[in-house]
């Protein structure tokens, strides 16, 4: 897999709600420096793009529609398959 995007090394979130687990683990500090988007091929050779965020949340993300489109077109280019939507 290739890391396409990762969270900032310091305090990764400027705004938003990312609450830690009741035991204090898993908060936004745990994401610092970690991958947010990765791409590659699965064990069958299929092209895969995984988002660690919800790029289509509320259907109005600023700047994330192009990221989803790039993921679709990259997957098609790697496999030689046409891009289709359902």
- 25 to each of 19, 29, 86, how far by Cα in Å? 9, 9, 38
- Sorted by where each begins, the domain ranges of the chain are 2-79
Cα–Cα distance, 52 to 13 (Å, whole number):
14
pLDDT at 3 over 90: yes
User: Which pLDDT tens digit goes with each residue over 6-55?
Assistant: 988 887 776 667 788 899 888 888 888 999 899 988 888 888 898 888 88
Distance of CA 75 to the CA centre of its chain: 14
Q: What does pTM read for this prediction? A: 0.71
């Amino acid at each position: 897999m290739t890391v396409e995007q990762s969270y900032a090394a310091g305090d990764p979130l400027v705004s938003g709600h990312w609450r830690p687990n009741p035991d204090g683990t898993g908060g936004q500090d745990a994401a610092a420096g970690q991958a947010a988007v990765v791409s590659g091929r699965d064990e069958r050779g299929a092209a895969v793009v995984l988002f660690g965020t919800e790029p289509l949340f509320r259907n109005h993300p600023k700047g994330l529609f192009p990221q989803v489109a790039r993921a679709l077109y990259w997957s098609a280019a790697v496999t030689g398959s046409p891009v289709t939507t359902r």
